[in-house]
Chains A and B, each alone.
Chain A
Amino acid sequence: MDIREIIARYQDKPGGLIEAYHAIQDEFNYLPQEAIREASLAFGISEAQAYGVATFYSYLSVEKRGKYIIRMCESAPCHVAGADELLKALEKTLGIEVGQTTPDGKFTLELAECVGQCQETPVITINSVPYTDMSPDKISAVLAQCT
């Protein structure tokens, strides 16, 4: 779907900028510059402000990202449940470090703060779908679901 069309769906919503950004990310996985420019025009705000909003929220990214965005929670409950080890294992399996995208453009690995699934820690999310009670030995099986 075209960036303009996506934005147009939210244009008349008061304060709909962030909603529009979410919708663009659903399509592109990040916010292309063009989207931020278009949004600033559509919502009557400056580009600088539209960019300021885009860079404020950790779910929004102005950098290109992979098809699957893996977010590894490192908040305290996950931390004590072994998040550090899990992260190391994720980096090893994917062959990338936090903040990077695999060369095939398939996975981006990010850190996250609490994702609200603390009943079964540690937790990762892949494109917002939570995988709870994770451990290094479960990684391969989970990643295999990403096609």
Chain B
Amino acid sequence: MIRLTINGREVEAPRGSTLLQACQLNGIEIPTLCYDPDLRLAGSCRMCIVECKNRPLFLASCVAPAEEGMVIETHSDQIMQARRVILELLAARHDFSCQTCDKNGDCTFQDYCYEYGIKESSFEDGGRRIYTVDDPNPFLERDYNKCIMCTRCVRACEEITVARAINVENRGHHSKIAVAFDGYLEDSPCVFCGQCVMVCPTGALTSKVSAGQGRAFEVDRVLTTCTYCGTGCTLELNVKDDRVVGVSSNREEEWSPVNKGALCVKGRFGWDFINSPDRLTTPLIKENGEFREASWDEALDLVAQRLQEVKDQHGPDSLAMFTSARVTNEENYLAQKFTRAVLGTNNVDHCARL
């Protein structure tokens, strides 16, 4: 452990910590935009700057090592002013269309603007660059008018998904996140996993599938396990008014041991079958080659009667059950129990081989 002074208080931090970690460990909140604990450090947004005694420059706490005896101020007037200037600079390039933004209420940039009182930017005379929003893919909305160039999406694409579809193009104020030749995602190695949406601290990257269906403060997030392949990723179903309106993910290993929040295109964008108008909503009985709606009682009585008849006439081994690799353990257990104990046969299998 090393000792240092932060905001007049002597604190301890493990050797090798960054200043940001030392602050977090001691309950001191530092604003960050480019920092992401799962991605390589960028040190570029400069929101996490702090003052260190006897150092002429501010230190970006996310990349600055905490050293024995340092005297740090995290919220001095100088620092607060610098952060305000940085936010104003970003505000000048950001399209504040919060009223219609899906990230409203779940936007780190918005939070900091609120916290630091950024009503408007003092740097807006020259206006901002306007980017057309026209990526035709059905999954991801890319609105670079809201981008603050934190590059978390680039790093997530490189380091989590390893698709490496996007990078920074051009230089300086002309730089922008882009696929090769500034084309469409569909023509790039993008696999539409939406890890970029997951890490974006603004509304620059959002889900087209969820658009307009509910903002963070309107939805409940229910952690569950994905219904597709056997990897067992956890995800959060976003629910508004008893309806699933989107998918987000929990990035804590404790709640997402396999995937740490990473998902694939099906997990993140393939949830709307739940609300499909094709869903079966009532039992159906076929009569004269046509289905008609039936009550549960009628349908189940019919099933029970027919199965019993076959069993009585042809013996239990003339019955069979296909259980499912998609239903829960509990249901699979009951299905085989039902087959063995009720139907009286071991003819139970599922599509494990298919």
Partners in one complex: yes
Question: Contact at A52–B181, with CB atoms within 8 Å?
Answer: no
Give the number of residues in A that approach B within 8 Å (Cβ atoms).
Answer: 17
Question: Contact at B170–A50, with CB atoms within 8 Å?
Answer: no
A55-B180 contact, Cβ under 8 Å, with A48-B165, A48-B166? no
Question: Contact at A52–B169, with CB atoms within 8 Å?
Answer: yes
B17 within 8 A of A: no
Complex: A75 Cα to B182 Cα, angstroms: 30
Give, as a whole number of angstroms, the nearest-CB distance from B193 to chain A.
15
Considering only CB atoms, which chain B residue lies closest to A54 in the complex? B169
Considering only CB atoms, which chain B residue lies closest to A49 in the complex? B167
Chain A residues with CB below 8 A from B69, complex form: none
Question: Contact at B171–A48, with CB atoms within 8 Å?
Answer: no
A37, A45, A51: which contacts B169 (Cβ < 8 A)?
A51
Question: Contact at A51–B180, with CB atoms within 8 Å?
Answer: yes
Question: Contact at B171–A56, with CB atoms within 8 Å?
Answer: yes
Q: Which of B168-200 contact A (CB under 8 A)?
A: 168-171, 178-182, 188-189
Chain A residues with CB below 8 A from B167, complex form: 46, 48-49, 51-52
Give, as a whole number of angstroms, the nearest-CB distance from B131 to chain A.
16
The DSSP consensus for interface residues of chain A is helix
Give, as a whole number of angstroms, the nearest-CB distance from A40 to chain B.
8
B260 within 8 A of A: no
B164 within 8 A of A: yes
A selection of 5 A-B contacts at a CB cut-off of 8 Å is A48-B164, A52-B168, A52-B178, A55-B171, A58-B171
Complex: A55 Cα to B175 Cα, angstroms: 9
Question: Contact at A49–B170, with CB atoms within 8 Å?
Answer: no
Chain A residues with CB below 8 A from B178, complex form: 48, 51-52
Digit string of A25-46 for contact with B (CB within 8 Å is 1, else 0)? 0000000010011001000011
Complex: A55 Cα to B166 Cα, angstroms: 14
Question: Contact at B180–A36, with CB atoms within 8 Å?
Answer: yes
Complex: A50 Cα to B166 Cα, angstroms: 10
Complex: A55 Cα to B174 Cα, angstroms: 10
Complex: A33 Cα to B165 Cα, angstroms: 16
B165, B168, B181: which contacts A46 (Cβ < 8 A)?
B165
A84 within 8 A of B: no
Question: Contact at B188–A55, with CB atoms within 8 Å?
Answer: no
Q: Which of A56-113 contact B (CB under 8 A)?
A: 56-58, 62
Complex: A8 Cα to B283 Cα, angstroms: 66
Complex: A57 Cα to B165 Cα, angstroms: 21
Question: Contact at B181–A33, with CB atoms within 8 Å?
Answer: yes
Question: Contact at B180–A56, with CB atoms within 8 Å?
Answer: no
Considering only CB atoms, which chain A residue lies closest to B170 in the complex? A55
A47 within 8 A of B: yes
Most chain B beta-carbon contacts within 10 A, residue among A37, A45, A55, A56: A55
Digit string of A119-146 for contact with B (CB within 8 Å is 1, else 0)? 0000000000000000000000000000
Question: Contact at B171–A47, with CB atoms within 8 Å?
Answer: no
